[in-house]
Amino acid sequence: MSSRYSATSSAATVTYRVTTLSEQPDLIARHQTTGGSAWPEFMLHDPVAIANWEKMMSYFAGDQLTLLVGDKIAAVVNMVPLKVEADLGKLPDRGVDWGVEKSVADYENGTPPNALMGLQIVVAKEFRGKKFSETATREVIAHARRRKLERIVLPVRPNEKHAFPLIPMDQYIHWKNPDGLAFDSWLRVHMRLGGDLIGICLKSMIIPGTVSEWEDWTGQKFPGSGQYIVPFALNPVDVDIERNRGIYVEPNVWVVHHASA
- DSSP labels, 65-91: EEEEETTEEEEEEEEEEE---S-GGG-
Q: Strand ranges (DSSP E) for the chain?
A: 6-9, 14-20, 65-69, 72-82, 115-123, 151-156, 196-209, 226-228, 237-240, 245-258
Please compute Rg for the chain using Cα positions.
18
How many residues are recorded in the chain? 261
Please state the rounded mean pLDDT for residues 238-254: 98
Average pLDDT over residues 97-110: 98
- What is the pLDDT, as a whole number, of residue 206? 98
Name which CATH class applies to 6-205+253-258.
alpha beta
Checking if the pLDDT of 13 tops 90, the result is: no
Distance (Å) of CA 187 to CA 45, 84, 158, 170, 254: 25, 22, 6, 13, 10
Q: Phi and psi of 206, rounded to 5°?
A: -120, 120
Flag whether pLDDT at 1 surpasses 80.
no
Query: In the prediction, which pLDDT does 6 show?
Result: 41
DSSP state of 176: B
Q: Rounded to an integer, what distance in angstroms lies between the CA atom of residue 249 and that of residue 261?
A: 34
The predicted model scores a pTM of 0.92
Beta bridge mates, 237? 228
List CB contacts of 221: < 8 A, sequence separation 6 or more: 215
- Whether 261 has a pLDDT exceeding 60, the answer reads no
Which contiguous run of DSSP H or E holds residue 54?
helix 47-59
Question: Mean pLDDT over residues 163-176, rounded?
Answer: 97
**Domain layout of the chain by residue ranges:** 6-205+253-258, 208-247
Cβ atoms of 102 and 114 within 8 Å: the answer is no
Q: Please compute the mean of the pLDDT values over residues 177-192 and round it to a whole number.
A: 95
